Amino acid sequence: MEHKTREEVIDHSPQNTEKASGELYLESLRRMAEHNKEASRYPLTGLYNMRTFFYLSSELMQQNPKSSFGVIAMDIAQFKSVNEFCGRSEGDRMLKYIADCFRYYEDNRPKTCVCQVRADNFCLFTAFEEEQELVDIVQDIRAKIDEFSFAYRVLPSFGICTSEKEQTSVSYMKDCATIAMQSIKGKFFAEYAFFDDEMRKQMLREKQVENDIVAALKNGELTAFIQPKVNMRTGRIIGGEALVRWRHPERGLISPGVFVPVLEKNGFIINVDRYIWEQIFSYLSRLKQEGRPLVPISINVSRVHAYDKHLCDTLVELTEKYDVPAEYAPLELTESAFLEDEAGMFQRMKKLRDRGFKIAMDDFGTGYSTMYMLKSQNMDEVKMDRIFILDLEDEKSQIVLKYTTAMLLALGSKIIMEGIETEEQKKLVLECGCENAQGFLFYKPMPIEEFDELLRKQEEAQ
């Protein structure tokens, strides 16, 4: 028998090299998991943390390439309220119970691994043949949580993502399951949701926005548009609202409805807001330097600024840098900006009003606590949402419009009616005593240069 050297025995073909690399990766995962898994458990529940979960789940997937796998993510809506209402010890008791519900499947179901991501957020990875198996797991855990003896009714939400026979990474599946879970979080009648094609497309769109936004700021693709505010009796422009627009070099003009929610989610909206504020202050400074009349151009403050400790300093610095009185850059806030950190935002708004800024409530009439905010916070301007004028043929709608307008005027608030598109809407709003408005009947949002040209013509006509 002919003896071969070690080098001759080893197959150096690309296919074999790739196989060897996969085996080495699997072995490194196994060693890392074995070394760390006992030290990587949550002290309270004893479940693995997310890193070890990824190691062990990836190992299962590598060892069973022909199996279909799924990830189930679970979260409790408003779990902080559990600790506040029942005490932390009771909250811990519930977390231990939920952990046991998940651990049951790790102990009794083949090819299964579970983890505690954080606090009330849990994940389960398992092989399956029919998707109904995953639904059964969800419904079993949900039923056990419902049976738990507790003074506070909790509402778990579940998201499910499947890999089928594709070798998708576990971390990606976990992210997808979380997105599916968040789509139904807090909805009483929705137990679970599968990650689907529409969610996948939305996730890809969001990733595209995140990837492109930094370059967009650097290359000047983001720009400020202004939608004029007018006095409906005279037709004169009395101010404007600054809005962000994105001129993408390949995809053209991208709607704010596409990219703003993504930027609010990842916090980058703060950078974009500051970028737009800078453009508006620069324009107002130019008007002042040219000796032309200043008009107030309101700037939007998103809900993410509830956590921005530098908000006040940033705005004050802009007034000083461009030598523009603060009253010419009113701040528009929606109710959601206060809901994130009500006390903190009230304090910041008071500080800014003391420095000369005007405060406007945007989208009035769409939130739950709008009336409370109107009573407790000084608002210089209230922008009534277009919902007040959508169905003016209905007598009840007219009554609501009439008396809401009267209430705001009695409170001494300046009113701007949003969304006016027809002469009929204009006529009825004027009859209710509101003279100032925004809407396509008058002007659409436009570049600063076009807005400036309108102001020039108005100045020349005086």
Class of domain 204-461: alpha beta
Say how far apart CA 298 and CA 301 lie, in whole Å: 10
Q: Write b or e for each residue in 430-442: b if 16 or more Cβ atoms lie within 10 A of its Cβ, otherwise e.
A: eebebbbbbbebb
Share of the chain above pLDDT 90, in %: 47
pLDDT tens figures, 411-452: 888 999 999 999 999 999 999 999 999 999 999 999 999 999
Predicted confidence band at 34 (pLDDT cuts at 50, 70, 90)? low
Q: 6-195, which class in CATH?
A: alpha beta
CB 332 within 8 Å of CB 380: no
Lowest pLDDT segment from 6-10, 82-86, 119-123, 246-250: 6-10
**Which letter does DSSP use for residue 40 in this model?**
S
439 is written with which tokens?
Answer: 């809407």
Identical topology for domains 6-195 and 204-461: no
In this prediction, residue 8 carries a pLDDT of 39
Q: Is residue 73 exposed (0-12), middle (13-18) or buried (19+ Cβ within 10 Å)?
A: buried
Residue 123 predicted with pLDDT over 90: yes
| E strand or H helix that includes residue 87 | none
Residue 11 neighbours by CB distance under 10 Å = 10
- pLDDT tens digits, residue range 383-420? 998 889 988 888 888 899 999 999 988 888 899 999 99
Dump the DSSP string for 397-428.
HHHHHHHHHHHHHHTT-EEEE----SHHHHHH
Mean pLDDT of the chain: 84
Q: Tokens in use for 134?
A: 């995953």
Q: What is the domain partition of the chain in residue ranges?
A: 6-195, 204-461
3-state DSSP call for residue 41? strand
Can you tell me the distance from the alpha carbon of 53 to that of 210, in angstroms, rounded to the nearest whole number?
27
